[in-house]
């Protein structure tokens, strides 16, 4: 996803459902998040929602150049460094 602000907002709102994974083309990871959310009765969904808030704020604080460098490296909701 090329739009940093949109990706950051969607990560904050929908990380528990795996939407950021789908936007990055990581379909298996997105489906896995959805399945784990249902299997764990929402506990993993809550954890992913908290991670999504943190990651979304980090993305919104980045400059466009930093985002372009790290785009596609937000595996499992944790930026790889």
Tokens 């954890």 locate to 47
Q: What is the mean pLDDT of residues 17-40?
A: 86
Per-residue pLDDT at 9: 92
The kind and range of the H/E element at 9 are helix 4-14
73's tokens: 């490296």
Contacts of 21 (CB under 8 A, 6+ apart): 27, 29, 30, 33
For the chain, the domains span: 4-65
Residues 64 and 58: their CA atoms lie apart, in Å, by 12
- Dump pLDDT digits (tens) for 33-64: 888 888 888 888 888 889 889 989 998 998 88
pTM (global) more than 0.85: no
Over pLDDT 90: what percentage of the chain?
14
- Tell me the pLDDT of the chain averaged across its residues: 82
């Amino acid at each position: 996803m090329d739009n940093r602000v949109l990706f950051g907002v969607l990560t904050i709102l929908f990380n528990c459902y795996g939407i950021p994974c789908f936007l990055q083309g990581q379909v298996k990871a997105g489906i896995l998040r959805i399945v784990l959310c249902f299997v764990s009765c929402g506990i993993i969904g809550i954890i992913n929602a908290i991670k999504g808030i943190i990651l979304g704020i980090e993305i919104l604080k980045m400059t466009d150049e930093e985002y372009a460098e790290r785009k596609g490296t937000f595996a499992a909701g944790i930026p790889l460094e």
